[in-house]
Structure 1
Amino acid sequence: MKQSIKRAAVLGSGVMGSGIAAHLANCGIHTIMLDIVPKELTKEELAKGLSLEDKVVRNRIAAQSKKALLKQKPAALTTKKSLDLIEVGNMEDDMDKLAEVDWIVEVVVESLPIKKKVFSRIDEIRKQGAIVTSNTSGISVEKMAEDCSEDFKKHFLGTHFFNPPRYLKLLEIIPTVKTDPEVVAFMKKFSEDVLGKGVVEAKDTPNFIANRIGTYGLLITVRKMLEGGYSIGEVDSVTGPIIGRPKSATFRTLDVVGLDTFIHVAKNVYDQVGGEEKEVFTVPDFMKEMLNRGWLGAKSGQGFFLKKKGKDGSAIYELNTETLEYEERKKLKSAAMEMAKQEKGTRRKLKALVNARGDRAGDLVWSMLKPVLLYSARLCGEIADDVLSIDQAMKWGFGWELGPFETWDAIGVEASVTRMKEEGEDIPEWVENMLERGFSSFYKQENGSSFFYQKGEYTQQEFNKKEIHLKRLKESNGVIKKNAGASFIDLGDGVAGLEFHSQGNSIGLDIIQMMNYAIEETEKNYEGLVIGNQGKNFCVGANLAMMLMEAQDQNFMELDIVVRQFQNMAMRIKYAAKPVVAAPFNMVLGGGAEVSLPAAAIQASPETYIGLVEFGVGLIPGGGGTKELYLKQLRNLPKGIQFDLTKVANDVFEKVATATVSKSAAEARENGFLNATDSISANPDHLLYDAKEKVLALAKAGYHPPLPEQIPVVGDSGYAAMLLGAQNLHRSGYASEHDVKIAEKLAYVLSGGRMKEGTVINEQAMLDLEREAFLSLIGEPLTQQRMQHMLVKGKPLRN
């Protein structure tokens, strides 16, 4: 029977259980979430005269967890509508409902006897063929199911999500010896295609892959800090982005995770290993004392860091590990740090630090990296089959830019092994053999393909056909044309691509020129065009620094030309003879939204944060963003039903004036940035493939560009209504005079230049209004102050 998952159940509604249920609901899966029955009534329940037998009481724990999802930060739900797909109940009255589901996820307390009891009950109820998984973070998956039926064992495995499930890519899948290989293959495909996960198959060992190595690495770093006399702040200044790790580095990460959770994970390994490894997993005394005092991190208000309010605002203090007093946060400054900052790319930065012997920063990086590299090599084969799985687990689960073996390649395997031997380290035999056979790295790239070392030879890395990797594609197919801002490339199957690669993927004249070229070439030689890239963000907007410089030099003629060119580019995207599909992801701000909105279709990543944010720098959209959002809202209205035009205009006015940014692609649809013809990819890694398929589908359907649009405007009465709202905010102290001035310009554009209500204007007329308003505002000193502040401080200025 062909496997499918339409309905699921999650047993346990704690932080992890409710997070998994939320993620399943985000993916469109109806989910039953069950938890235990409360043993006592709350004061509120007593006041209402309820008893322990009332259903509302018996379902209370799961119901409260469901309600709490609405307030979670970061948000667990991509849209509030996802909540409708979560049904709550309890594990006494509602277990029979498990017979209706295709997948049951166990997320109860980490106790083998309790889990075995739960699985025994599930085994009695589940339908034949239903998949059952455990989200355990380290208990033996094999042992959990040892007393269950053969069909249960065939359909049972571990699925270890990382918290928060919506955002962290990694899903470790842990089969047992009895798990049907077809079930494993199905769950891998389902998890990638529907849940949007990066799947790594792990072996049934303590803490699996990521938590085993990640916890080891964190404890090694703590040990080296204590041995070397470094402070907590100094360690975090060296173990963050400069070595390809998250901004939270070491101790901020521990504060976010929670010290209690971290110690529990460490103890799980400590209890199951011996020798030197057991010693490393021994939690230092100062951390045990922190646990005793309840200093758990963000959840308790203090941990390794403490935020204090002073006369000059809030400041963050770091814990002194000897006195357990909080002190001013320190940063480690050294010659090697400065040198590494000048290097381009994480690999070069790492190499610079590791090679800086005798430098405090360099010595710290080497002392913490070396044990992790050796530990990872010793565990390869025990916790995972290959170096690739370990590297992927660390990148997707812990946010490392480079996995352990990629890091080893970056600093040079031969040179670092020589140094390790000089320092008395034992090198794992298979690494020695690799070097002796003439293999000098764990990875290699050849003819656009990637290979990793495994059992005496390089093995080609297999990719999901839905993953288009632009770097590999360009290596094998070449680039048709490029400049400093963008590249025009062939995506295959008659589809072209335009890749942004300017700083922050911000839009300047180079991207505008390449966009025009790309559309021209696509109309001649291709089925359609995908606008996309694989940077950190799709596009953070237009080139703000360039515009500020021109404004300060009073080069308004130049600015007028640039804005006209941007507007013309957006219109070319909209009216191209061949379909142009935008593939936005992550931050899609200002100009990024203005490039996406006029496209024939948008294929968005699930995590797409789109908004017209120009108001924050004292401007309004100048590239057609206001016009396109207004038109998109009008198109989304039900046909044949009379509507209030003022309400539509007010809605767009509010979104632009408050610089509203969607918190997901699903919310972007609700906000009117996406419409019925636009789609959302389940997996961000499949985004370009999905966008390419959308181009081909549009072409196959006989694509024709839209007819020029006529725009009904709200005129004078609508202008007055919009402005009244801004003036009320000003009177209440929520908006400055300059805010009102910007709002006035925006209202003027949306009202069509204060015409009679219901007047219809063409697109160019509204573009002219946008451009005039934009140029007027950019000449204002207060706007230039806002632009300068954003460039220097990275946040808006209210003046």
Structure 2
Amino acid sequence: MTKTIRKAVVIGSGIMGSGIAAQLANAGISCLLLDVVPQQLTADEERKGLTLEDTAVRNRLAAAAIGKLGKTKPAPLYDPAFAARITPGNIEDHLSLIGEADWVIEVVVENLAVKQQLLAKIEQVWKPGIIVSSNTSGISINEMSAGCSEAFRTHFLGTHFFNPPRYMKLLEIIPGEKTDPAIVAQMKEIGEKVLGKGVVLAKDTPNFIANRIGTYGLLVTLREMTASGLTVSEVDAITGPAMGRPKSATFRTLDLVGLDTFVHVAANVYEQAASEQERSVFETPALLQTMVEKGWLGEKTGQGFYQKRKTEKGSEILQLDLATFDYIPQKKAASASLEAAKLAKGARAKTKALLGAGDRYSDFAWNVLKHVLLYAADKLGEIADSIQEIDDAMKWGFSWELGPFETWDAIGLERSVARMEQEGLAVPGWVKEWIAAGNSSFYKLEAGNIYVRSSSMNGYEEVDYGPEVISLRQLKERNRVIRSNAGASLIDLGDGVACLEFHSPNNAIGADILTMIHQSVEEVRSNYEGLVIANQGRNFCVGANLMLLLMEAQDEEWDEVNDIIQLFQQTMLKLKRLEKPVVAAPHRMTLGGGVEACMPADQVIAAAETYYGLVEVGVGLIPAGGGCKEFALRTSQQYSKYPDVELQPVLNEIFRMIGTATVSTSGHDAKRLGYLQAHDKVILNQDHLLHEAKQSVLGMVKAGYEPAVESKIKVVGSEGKAVMQLGAIGMHQGGYISEHDLLIANKLAHVLAGGDVPAGTLVSEQYLLDLEREAFLSLCGEPKTQARMQHMLTKGKALRN
């Protein structure tokens, strides 16, 4: 990387500006957040005797925006403490500080004249080498910078983040006609490696890539709904997961975005589109115009296409009746096509099943999809040079599981094009030429490599996201599987490193995974330098196989339950004792047994979006795969290094965290809570997780890895147990926890304290594992625990009993 971003300036402290500043802070970048100087005092400022010249008043807008970051949901910051990396200021007093920055981002109102005026001010204090970008969602980069010097324009480009900036993967980079290609390459690398984004290069056209196609698709869907007579909820049932799209589908998405915002985005294309045909599609429908005029803007106003109302039974989400403009109850959509899509596995199969059933929902899906595919094909070359860029933009910006061209492949390129032409639709010439040249798809898989139609139309070129992106799917295609069973596989990552991949349903840990861990330890011990535990499923691991445990408990097969837990414990212990380095790389939901599978590793390298926690009390149990033991061990080791540290306060906090099933809100939060240790690492780009974990293993090997020596654990014993139990009794008396919660808490305190031994007693790891197992078994026999387990399996949420 040729340029390091240490300091940034964000101008505009609204939702997007403060969100971008937060993501920069998440990446460790110091940020100055600027906004205009207020022209009036607030009532609170008047009471304090402040004037318009006071710093607190002049910086008020930016300071208020920073203050909101800790309260906003979902949280923009990985750790609330990161807000300290953002400094508030104002444009009048602090614009000169731009000269000390590496990157300046303007995020002011979407108005060309306002942006041009701001760029002129920025240039007055700009120094060569400073990158300046605009977060515009659709205003021309070239028009914006037209009045600036050529030297300034070489450093100016568009960097369009999607909202919310922490969670949305897409970053569209839009070079201007004068932008230095080296600057574009630098910003792409910074976006991917520092900010953790998926970057696409867009052309300087209205709404760029994702909003151009996404807005078109939403408008087509609205048009087809009007023609078909389907309800709002029916359309969302069709255009959600059944079509490989998010659960928010069409109208829930519009409500979340805000109808006024959507109308503004659509109008941007309407005003700038070259053809009347395209303008007609982007013209604001009368329905949307009426809703905006009524102030029915979606979630921010409490009603849009849906409205949540309180009823005697709780709350109910109603849908808008487009004929009467009344809100009416939703009816569950049911059809052969939806059922077929539900049963199919994967977005490709789901979309194909939805379109193939031949009912009215199938017809609706086809009538929407065909126009979106043709529009994407028609805009190739205008909005982006490659189909991969378009596909990635839609996947990363709109959370589609498949981009338009991937979807076309899934439903059959040749067959669908023939149907389009039979229905009188114009198919772009380049698509027909591509098929005529003997190509039956836009992508193909050969020898484990993915190829895509080349931008030059010369055939296929390999899809390459760089060495930091390792695909387990592709490695499997290349016959790099060492061992495999139904629940897990051991895969050769190259350079002497193996990867243990979970792939059971929900990556829940059962006998298959435990067997594979045993086999992996032996394989790595004999033939490899080290082991990575990682997978590329939706979530890393949601815990142990709860259904199996419940069935055995209900049948009172206590020997079987004991054997299951003992196998889990001994498997984790065997992993911990491996004489080669082990690195765990969790992502997203990593709960219960998933955490316990990471704890034996020498290092954890977690994705920033990792929600990490020991949550067993939610199903009436305590951690028994070594989770309690590992925390007791860590506490004891902390004491041995720092004798002045008292064990009890540390254990009290661990007791509270496990007892309340606390889950981290990010990888950084997992560090703050103590789930992750000081030597563990958090990275922002989840796509780079496997590469980073592999490099960590190789680094330990190069440094001369020596396995940890088993040590005795100093426990707080019966005295410390009493302290923890006293805290639980107080919570019970205060009405915060139930009688059954208190029982679980007492069991947990017994294990963490090391049982009924004197304070300061040294015990073995196996001793604590035995305590874990005994407590777990006793709780499995409790009817209320079994009720909690049943409720979690059937309802997907914890039962308070």
TM-score range, shorter chain: over 0.9
Report the counterpart of residue 202 of structure 1 in structure 2: 202
Moved more, 30-39 or 118-127: 118-127
Q: Does 1:796 align with 2:798?
A: yes
Tell me the secondary structure at the aligned position of residue 299 of structure 1: helix
Tell me the secondary structure at the aligned position of residue 70 of structure 2: helix
Within 5 Å, give how 1:84-95 maps onto structure 2. Answer: 84-95=84-95
Which of 763, 766, 786 is matched with 1:764 structurally?
A: 766
Report the counterpart of residue 221 of structure 1 in structure 2: 221
Shift, 1:563, TM fit: 0.6
Distance 2:608 2:278 in 1: 40
- Contact residue 110 and residue 139 of structure 2 kept, 8 A: yes
Cα distance change on mapping 1:2 and 1:484 into 2, 3 Å: closer
Report the counterpart of residue 305 of structure 1 in structure 2: 306
- Contact residue 548 and residue 787 of structure 1 kept, 8 A: yes
Shift, 1:569, TM fit: 1.1
- Contact residue 350 and residue 411 of structure 1 kept, 8 A: yes
Cα distance change on mapping 1:320 and 1:104 into 2, 3 Å: same
Distance 2:588 2:255 in 1: 25
- Contact residue 477 and residue 490 of structure 1 kept, 8 A: no
- Contact residue 340 and residue 357 of structure 2 kept, 8 A: no
Q: Percent identity?
A: 56
Tell me the secondary structure at the aligned position of residue 439 of structure 1: coil
Distance 1:345 1:243 in 2: 10
Report the counterpart of residue 714 of structure 1 in structure 2: 716
Distance 1:80 1:631 in 2: 28
Q: Does 1:778 align with 2:743?
A: no
- Contact residue 78 and residue 663 of structure 1 kept, 8 A: yes
Q: Does 1:683 align with 2:685?
A: yes
- Contact residue 633 and residue 672 of structure 1 kept, 8 A: no
- Contact residue 376 and residue 404 of structure 2 kept, 8 A: yes
Tell me the secondary structure at the aligned position of residue 123 of structure 1: helix
Given residue 235 of structure 2, which amino acid in structure 1 is its aligned partner? V
- Contact residue 336 and residue 352 of structure 1 kept, 8 A: yes
Distance 1:605 1:378 in 2: 37
Which of 610, 613, 616 is matched with 1:614 structurally?
A: 616
Given residue 614 of structure 1, which amino acid in structure 2 is its aligned partner? E
Report the counterpart of residue 666 of structure 2 in structure 1: 664
- Contact residue 98 and residue 122 of structure 2 kept, 8 A: yes
- Contact residue 634 and residue 648 of structure 1 kept, 8 A: no
Deviations 1:201-234 (A, max 9, x none): 0000000000000011011111111110011111
Report the counterpart of residue 446 of structure 2 in structure 1: 446
Distance 2:642 2:717 in 1: 23
- Contact residue 112 and residue 139 of structure 2 kept, 8 A: yes
Deviations 1:512-534 (A, max 9, x none): 01001101111111110000000
Shift, 1:733, TM fit: 2.1
Tell me the secondary structure at the aligned position of residue 497 of structure 1: strand
Moved more, 338-347 or 574-583: 338-347
TM-score, with structure 1 as normaliser: 0.98
Distance 1:261 1:638 in 2: 58
- Contact residue 636 and residue 714 of structure 2 kept, 8 A: no
Distance 1:634 1:593 in 2: 20
Shift, 1:759, TM fit: 1.6
Shift, 1:578, TM fit: 0.3
Within 5 Å, give how 1:345-744 maps onto structure 2. Answer: 345-357=346-358, 359-454=359-454, 455-635=457-637, 639-744=641-746
Deviations 1:128-184 (A, max 9, x none): 110000000000001111111222111111000000111111000000121111111
Report the counterpart of residue 272 of structure 1 in structure 2: 272
Distance 2:151 2:351 in 1: 50
Tell me the secondary structure at the aligned position of residue 668 of structure 1: helix
Cα distance change on mapping 1:2 and 1:421 into 2, 3 Å: closer
Distance 1:96 1:635 in 2: 50
Given residue 305 of structure 1, which amino acid in structure 2 is its aligned partner? Y
Aligned residues: 798
Distance 2:656 2:636 in 1: 15
Unaligned runs of 5+ in 2: none
Q: Does 1:190 align with 2:194?
A: no
Tell me the secondary structure at the aligned position of residue 481 of structure 2: coil
- Contact residue 129 and residue 151 of structure 1 kept, 8 A: no
Tell me the secondary structure at the aligned position of residue 69 of structure 2: helix
Deviations 1:704-734 (A, max 9, x none): 1111122222222221221122222222222
Cα distance change on mapping 1:584 and 1:116 into 2, 3 Å: same
Given residue 756 of structure 1, which amino acid in structure 2 is its aligned partner? P
- Contact residue 636 and residue 676 of structure 1 kept, 8 A: no
Shift, 1:639, TM fit: 3.7
Shift, 1:643, TM fit: 1.8
Tell me the secondary structure at the aligned position of residue 687 of structure 1: helix
Tell me the secondary structure at the aligned position of residue 160 of structure 1: strand
Given residue 16 of structure 2, which amino acid in structure 1 is its aligned partner? M
- Contact residue 286 and residue 322 of structure 1 kept, 8 A: no
Shift, 1:640, TM fit: 3.3
- Contact residue 636 and residue 713 of structure 2 kept, 8 A: no
Cα distance change on mapping 1:626 and 1:758 into 2, 3 Å: same
Given residue 520 of structure 1, which amino acid in structure 2 is its aligned partner? E
Alpha-carbon RMSD across the aligned residues, in angstroms, is 1.2
- Contact residue 580 and residue 601 of structure 1 kept, 8 A: yes
Structure 1 runs, 4 residues or longer, greater than 4 Å off: 633-638
Distance 1:110 1:633 in 2: 53
Distance 1:664 1:483 in 2: 31
Cα distance change on mapping 1:2 and 1:797 into 2, 3 Å: closer
Deviations 1:460-514 (A, max 9, x none): 2122101000001111143111000000110001101101000000000110010
Within 5 Å, give how 1:34-49 maps onto structure 2. Answer: 34-49=34-49
Shift, 1:641, TM fit: 4.7
Deviations 1:733-765 (A, max 9, x none): 221111111111101111111221222211111
Distance 2:323 2:44 in 1: 45
Deviations 1:574-630 (A, max 9, x none): 121001110000000000000101211101111111000000000000101111133
Cα distance change on mapping 1:636 and 1:394 into 2, 3 Å: farther
Given residue 35 of structure 1, which amino acid in structure 2 is its aligned partner? D
Distance 1:784 1:228 in 2: 48
Q: Does 1:336 align with 2:324?
A: no
Tell me the secondary structure at the aligned position of residue 451 of structure 1: strand
- Contact residue 238 and residue 361 of structure 1 kept, 8 A: yes
Shift, 1:4, TM fit: 2.2
Distance 1:661 1:463 in 2: 32
Cα distance change on mapping 1:340 and 1:644 into 2, 3 Å: same
Distance 1:573 1:353 in 2: 44
Deviations 1:393-438 (A, max 9, x none): 0000000000000001000011111111111101100001111111
Distance 1:730 1:238 in 2: 47
Given residue 790 of structure 1, which amino acid in structure 2 is its aligned partner? M
- Contact residue 169 and residue 198 of structure 1 kept, 8 A: yes
Tell me the secondary structure at the aligned position of residue 199 of structure 2: strand
Distance 2:285 2:465 in 1: 42
Distance 1:565 1:669 in 2: 29
- Contact residue 681 and residue 687 of structure 1 kept, 8 A: yes
Deviations 1:516-553 (A, max 9, x none): 11011111111100000000000000000111111111
